[in-house]
Amino acid sequence: MALWRDMGLEGKRCLIVHHDDLGMLAAQNEAYAQLGLPTGSIMTPGAWAPQVNVGDLGVHLTLTSEWAYPRMRPLTGGQSLCDETGHFWPTLEQAWQHIRVEEAKAEMEAQIAACRRMGVEPTHLDTHMGAVLRPDIAAVYHQLARELGIPVLLPESLTDAGLPGYLLEPLLRILEASPLPRVRLIDSYPVPADQRASWYIDTLSGLPPGVYHLIHHAAVPTDEARVLPDWQKREADLEALRHPDVRRLLGEFVLLTYREVQAGMRQYSPF
């Protein structure tokens, strides 16, 4: 797109290495500190959110809480956001069935405000479990980014997203009409833990020019982290991103931050 051209990125391999789920666990935050890769997003309803306040940080807008531990509650009093225990709904299906869009909007605004109270001016917005992809919520998500003048995680394509048609068509309309920058998504999460390092090496080696958003969930190996059912994947992300071959390959990319994307947006008239 024109923004990437005007930022001098056209024809280059550019990568935003994005640490999801910051603030959920101390183990997640510690991995962020150890890796030294600056971009990530904070789950502001998380108990450990105030621990993260330095870097290229956005808000990981949270409308679901999938694990038995840790479970998170809304920052607002929106009843449609909660199950019978007062926590966010554990699945996307339950969340999309129950959440009222006006309560989702109030909660997203509250999470952004909480990030600012922690001393972090968010550089971008993204979403936990894709919970904003219900089209009416997606429109609010997109509008919040426009109002704030910051990037929002928007994929270049929804072709491989596996979304049902009733979601895909209205989401495509939002995407096609948006002036905000789009990225090519790479997500390590589906990859088995024992294949994670080789997947990083193979994937990074084969990428053509473009601007990519690489999602990872690295966490240090602690008793706290190993309560999660997916702890092996989180530890595998940490080890893979420390691997010398992966680090060498990262060095072959233009490593972008969302702060740099935001600065580029502000110089570009459509935004």
Catalytic positions, written as ranges: 20, 217
Integer CA distances (angstroms), 18 to 21, 32, 57, 118, 171, in order: 10, 10, 9, 20, 23
φ/ψ (deg, to 5) at 81: -80, -10
Counting Cβ atoms within 10 Å, is residue 217 exposed (0-12), middle (13-18) or buried (19+)? buried
d(CA 258, CA 262): 6
Residue 145 CA, chain-centre distance (Å), reads 14
CA dihedral of 189, 213, 23, 111, whole degrees rounded to 10: -120
Extract the tokens encoding 136.
Answer: 């009416």
Q: What is the C-alpha separation between 109 and 143, in angstroms, rounded?
A: 11
For residue 86, CA distances in Å to 58, 90, 111, 220, 237 come to: 25, 11, 17, 29, 32
Among residues 57, 70, 71, the alpha carbon closest in space to that of 19 is found at 57
